[in-house]
Structure 1
Amino acid sequence: MTTRMTRAEQTERNRELVLAAARRVFLARGYAGARLDVIAEEAGFSKGVVYSQFAGKAELFLALLEQRIAERAAENEDLAAGQAGLEGLRALLLANARRSEEGGGWTQLVIEFRVAAARDAELNARYAALHVRALEEFGAAVATVLERGGLVPSHPPRTLAELIFCLDAGRELERAAGTARLELDVVVDLVSRFVEPL
């Protein structure tokens, strides 16, 4: 016997299908090149179904970004649980770099969105709120592994996280241009200079 989904379950299922399709389309076409009608077709819906879930392309992207931040925070928390000190910091940095390199262009997509959002004060504020959450969560993971190893960052953990994110975005742009020479070991060495004993 087949159980029918409730309206709320159907709505949530449709939302997840639209988000999955949007992720594929954004990664294939970039933020500027992605269109809602293409996302709807990829999800197997009409544009009306997409609009019933999201107010527009920016809203859809922000929902994807929020989902990605939550996933990465959970991954970092799990990783940090078994790590300590500089080796723990190195593990977090390696995981962060690996996610960027294996993310199918996600980091470039976020950079593209950030540039577009910077030209719209309201959109930029919404993006910034999510970005601050990502910085704070990553900073907390870094602080946890350092403290467990008897170390503390010489600057607030959120500042250290911002430095790491800046280096990651810069490395991604260099990689996209084919000019990347900044090895991860250099990044680890640089970041570890901002750490001192408790």
Structure 2
Amino acid sequence: MTIRLTRPQQVERNRGLLLDAARSVFLERGYAGATLEAIADEAGFSKGVVYSQFAGKADLFLALLERRIADRAEENARLVAEHAGVDALRALLRVNARRAAEAADWGRLLIEFRVVAARDPALNARYAQLHTRTRDAFARAITDALAKDGLVPAYPPETFAQLIFAIDTGSTLEHAADPDALPTELLEDLVTRLVGPA
């Protein structure tokens, strides 16, 4: 017996297939090299199906980024629940370093998109909203974890999170040139020096 999907179920299934295809094409070709035609082909749809779900390539990328942000925030929350203080901060940094190593292409893709978005005020504003949400969630996770051991970052939580993100972005670029640059232990040492008693 074949179970027919309802219209909303079909729409959601198609959206998921398009996001999976977009991830594959973006990682393979980069943001500039990816096309909606290639993404539609990868998903097994016409370009019209892509436009029925997304306004264009940037919209598709931002939806993909939003899904990734939600997944990472969930994982960060689990880590903070399992660890406290500097141990939690180190765990967050290690997991982030592992993610970066396993998905180096994603880090470079995100940097490429950020450069494109920086030249388009409307797109940059959309990206900035997601980035702010990510930064704020990360800042809360770090603050909660450190507070368990009576610790605080040397800077306001949002600034502390920005510093970690900036180090991560710079590290991605350094690793593209030299995979052995900036070992995780060095970054952990640097960041944990910015934490002290409340």
Normalization by structure 1: what TM-score? 0.97
Residue in structure 2 matched with residue 73 of structure 1 by the alignment:
73
**Contact preservation (8 Å) 2:140, 2:157:** yes
Does structure 1 residue 30 correspond to structure 2 residue 30?
A: yes
The residue correspondences of 1:99-178 to structure 2 (distance < 5 A) are 99-178=99-178
How far apart are the structure 2 equivalents of 1:180 and 1:112? Answer: 22
Structure 1 residue ranges without an equivalent (≥5): none
Deviation at 1:104, TM superposition (A): 4.7
Deviation at 1:149, TM superposition (A): 1.4
How far apart are the structure 2 equivalents of 1:63 and 1:137? Answer: 18
How far apart are the structure 1 equivalents of 2:78 and 2:34? Answer: 33
| C-alpha RMSD of matched pairs (Å) | 1.0
Render the CA deviation track for 1:90-149: whole Å, top value 9, x for unaligned. Answer: 001101111111125111100000000000000000000000111111111111111111
**Contact preservation (8 Å) 1:27, 1:104:** no
Residue in structure 2 matched with residue 11 of structure 1 by the alignment:
11
Render the CA deviation track for 1:51-103: whole Å, top value 9, x for unaligned. Answer: 10001000000000000000000000011101011111100110111111112
How far apart are the structure 2 equivalents of 1:43 and 1:186? Answer: 41
Bigger Cα displacement from structure 2, 145-154 vs 36-45 = 145-154
Which runs of at least 4 in structure 1 moved beyond 3 Å after TM superposition?
none
How far apart are the structure 1 equivalents of 2:45 and 2:181? Answer: 44
**Contact preservation (8 Å) 2:27, 2:106:** yes
Deviation at 1:179, TM superposition (A): 6.3
How far apart are the structure 1 equivalents of 2:8 and 2:128? Answer: 30
Structure 2 residue ranges without an equivalent (≥5): none
The residue correspondences of 1:31-46 to structure 2 (distance < 5 A) are 31-46=31-46
How far apart are the structure 1 equivalents of 2:83 and 2:145? Answer: 6
Deviation at 1:196, TM superposition (A): 1.1
**Contact preservation (8 Å) 2:104, 2:172:** no
- State the identity %: 60
How far apart are the structure 1 equivalents of 2:104 and 2:2? Answer: 37
Deviation at 1:166, TM superposition (A): 0.7
**Contact preservation (8 Å) 2:76, 2:92:** yes
Render the CA deviation track for 1:12-59: whole Å, top value 9, x for unaligned. Answer: 100000000000000000000000000000000000000100010000
Bigger Cα displacement from structure 2, 52-61 vs 99-108 = 99-108
Render the CA deviation track for 1:139-186: whole Å, top value 9, x for unaligned. Answer: 111111111111111211111111111111111101111265212111
How far apart are the structure 2 equivalents of 1:176 and 1:104? Answer: 8
Residue in structure 1 matched with residue 96 of structure 2 by the alignment:
96
How far apart are the structure 2 equivalents of 1:106 and 1:32? Answer: 14
Bigger Cα displacement from structure 2, 14-23 vs 186-195 = 186-195
